[in-house]
Amino acid sequence: MSLDQVNAFYEVLMSDQLIYEQYYNQCCVRGLFGIWDWDKAKIVNFAATLGYIFTEDELDEVWYGDESGISESSSNLSQIYQDTSVFLV
């Protein structure tokens, strides 16, 4: 299931600082007032380079917590996504 791919991608991302830095540099643009703009297409493509295959819609489903079909642990990924600044300190 592709949602499992999204979950697995974020688990690796959160456990490997080097991969996270690559993700941040390739998929995020810092906008005005320090607001981060995450490019979903770039995230999907970056994940594919690591062997994780999913769509932007599936990424949205994990980010925003569509509870149908997402395990309890994966529903927390939307919070992890919001807290991704931990490696940038």
Q: What is the pTM of this model?
A: 0.69
Beta bridge partners of 36: 30
Alpha-carbon distance of 89 to 86, in angstroms, equals: 6
- What are the pLDDT digits (tens) for 49-74? 999 999 999 999 999 985 544 444 44
pLDDT at 4 over 90: yes
- What are the pLDDT digits (tens) for 8-53? 999 999 999 999 999 999 999 887 887 888 999 999 999 999 999 9
* Average of per-residue pLDDT values in the chain: 81
